[in-house]
């Protein structure tokens, strides 16, 4: 009881210190709840517009995409990690939607070349973060963008891709884990969600098939399976020391397994991915709500959703539907994504139109009072997958 009283007091102290816009959005979420579903096409259109706006309004004005729009502090600095994996989304959209998007992706790529470290790695955190140190995770995510850049624009981005991938392979431990060059902005130690780094290496391997990048990705995926319980739960899959796992990091681990499976066709990886995906199915509520944090035994522990995590999980369910034909995954993805879309506005100020909150309600435990660029990226990607795989649902 004392702990609950102290938590309530801290929450009230935080609330009264907030700017008026943040307090108003919190009241809106708690009072009005979910809105109407604007539909897949509408959120894609608005989301692409928001990403362009975030690139133009980054507080560091460098060609990268602003990490967030904050109801407390405004536009954030450019974020190398997520700019890296936003690039493939922008280039996919540029094929059919808007020619200038192609040049936006090129600007992102040129910025990434400018900040690449001499050893081939990319730095942790946002571009202005200190300490300025190499990060395994950021480097793996940026490989996704460099790979897309090579496919679309040619060899200008190939040396940077090779340098980043070579650095990752050289820093990998013999058992497949990465223990060195962890970000200082997360809890220390090896991570099961580094399978998402493996996905970056897989994309590099498709362009450089003889360089050993695919083998490194497979070593890491096999190591991640050693961190998985029979019920699909991942150890060492947390950003912080808090109890439980964010759906965001669970989904990183799951997506990496799926992508490395698609490259290698190793059955154990698909089995591991299905165990985790099935565990997440038990957390999903009939309304489409997915708890933002999950504890051992697949028990949701929050009444706020990590919207990015919900979208990432939905992407994974759809990919598993593609691989297995199991309609449970498709139906769960449609349910979860519809819930998230009901939190997204497709009209209103540029700062929030098409944007995705860190949490719903906005005061939840992930990226409080922020609209984050990676949420928009996964909103677009998931909507495209649904339009392809579940157009009538």
CA distances from 37 to 219, 303, 321, 372 (A): 41, 20, 23, 20
What's the mean pLDDT when you consider all of the chain?
95
Q: What is the pLDDT of residue 14?
A: 77
Q: Is the pLDDT of residue 360 over 70?
A: yes
What is the token pair recorded at 68?
């967030």
Q: What is the pLDDT of residue 331?
A: 98
| Alpha carbons 289 and 336: distance in angstroms, whole number | 6
- pLDDT band for 4, please (50, 70, 90 cuts): low
What is the token pair recorded at 278?
């099935």
Q: Is the pLDDT of residue 102 over 80?
A: yes
Q: How far is CA 277 from the centre of its chain?
A: 16
Tens digits of per-residue pLDDT, 14-25? 777 899 999 999
What is the token pair recorded at 367?
């990226």
Distant-in-sequence, close-in-space partners of 343: CB < 8 Å, separation ≥ 6:
34, 35, 307, 356, 357, 360
Phi and psi dihedrals of 300, rounded to 5? -65, 140
Query: In CATH, what number does 21-389 get?
Result: 1.50.10.10
State the Rg of the chain over Cα.
20
The DSSP letter of residue 99 is T
Greatest CA separation found in the chain?
62
Q: For the chain, how are helix, strand and coil distributed in percent, rounded to 5? A: 60, 5, 35
Tens digits of per-residue pLDDT, 201-235? 999 999 999 999 999 999 999 999 999 999 999 99
- pLDDT band for 188, please (50, 70, 90 cuts): confident
The answer to whether 307 touches 362, Cβ cutoff 8 Å, is no
Tens digits of per-residue pLDDT, 261-312? 999 999 999 999 999 999 999 999 999 999 999 999 999 999 999 999 999 9
Of 153, 41, 37, the closest CA to residue 97 belongs to: 41
| Alpha carbons 79 and 128: distance in angstroms, whole number | 9
- For 145, other C-beta atoms within 10 Å of its C-beta total 30
Instruction: List the alpha helices (DSSP H) in the chain.
Output: 2-17, 20-32, 40-56, 80-96, 100-115, 136-153, 158-171, 195-207, 213-226, 247-264, 267-283, 307-324, 327-341, 373-389
User: CA torsion sign, 8 to 11 to 15 to 16?
Assistant: positive
Tens digits of per-residue pLDDT, 27-59? 999 999 999 999 999 999 999 999 999 999 999
- pLDDT band for 13, please (50, 70, 90 cuts): confident
% the chain with pLDDT above 70: 96
Of 229, 247, 249, the closest CA to residue 237 belongs to: 249
| Alpha carbons 234 and 221: distance in angstroms, whole number | 12
Q: How far is CA 105 from the centre of its chain?
A: 18
Q: Is the peptide bond before 337 cis (omega within 30 degrees of 0)?
A: no
Q: Is the pLDDT of residue 8 over 80?
A: no
- Give the full edge-to-edge strand order of the sheet including 293-295: 245-246, 293-295, 299-300
Place of tokens 């009005």: 32
| Alpha carbons 72 and 349: distance in angstroms, whole number | 16
| Alpha carbons 194 and 163: distance in angstroms, whole number | 19
């Amino acid at each position: 009881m004392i702990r609950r009283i102290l938590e309530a007091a801290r929450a009230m102290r935080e609330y009264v210190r907030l700017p008026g816009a943040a307090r108003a959005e919190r009241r809106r979420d708690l009072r009005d709840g979910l809105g109407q579903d604007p539909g897949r096409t509408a959120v894609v259109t608005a989301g692409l517009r928001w990403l362009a706006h975030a690139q133009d309004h980054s507080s560091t004005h460098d060609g990268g995409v602003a990490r967030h729009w904050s109801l407390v502090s405004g536009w954030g600095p450019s974020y190398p990690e997520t700019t890296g994996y936003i690039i493939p989304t922008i280039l996919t959209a540029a094929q059919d939607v808007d020619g200038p998007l192609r040049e936006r992706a090129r600007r992102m790529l040129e910025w990434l070349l400018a900040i690449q470290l001499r050893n081939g790695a990319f730095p942790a955190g946002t571009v202005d973060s200190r300490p300025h140190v190499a990060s395994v995770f950021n480097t793996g995510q940026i490989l996704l963008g460099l790979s897309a850049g090579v496919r679309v624009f040619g060899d200008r981005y190939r040396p940077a891709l090779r340098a980043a991938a070579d650095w990752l392979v050289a820093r990998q431990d013999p058992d497949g884990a990465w223990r060195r060059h962890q970000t200082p902005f997360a809890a220390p130690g090896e991570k099961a969600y580094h399978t998402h780094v493996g996905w970056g290496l897989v994309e590099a391997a498709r362009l450089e098939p003889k360089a050993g990048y695919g083998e490194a990705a497979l070593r890491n995926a096999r190591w991640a399976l050693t961190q998985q319980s029979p019920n699909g739960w991942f150890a060492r899959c947390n950003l912080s020391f808090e109890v439980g796992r964010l759906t965001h990091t669970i989904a990183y681990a799951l997506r990496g397994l799926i992508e490395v499976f698609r490259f290698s066709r190793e059955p154990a990886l698909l089995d591991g991915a299905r165990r985790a995906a099935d565990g997440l199915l038990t957390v999903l509520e009939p309304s489409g709500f997915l708890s933002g944090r999950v504890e051992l035994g697949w028990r949701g522990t929050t009444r706020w959703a990590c919207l990015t995590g919900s979208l990432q999980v939905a992407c994974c369910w759809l990919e598993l539907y593609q691989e297995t034909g199991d309609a449970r995954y498709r139906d769960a993805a449609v349910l979860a994504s519809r819930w998230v879309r009901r939190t997204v506005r497709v009209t209103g100020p540029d700062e929030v139109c098409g944007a995705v909150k860190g949490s719903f309600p906005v005061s939840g435990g992930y990226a409080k009072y922020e609209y984050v660029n990676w949420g928009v990226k996964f909103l677009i990607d998931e909507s495209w997958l649904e339009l392809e795989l579940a157009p009538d649902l």
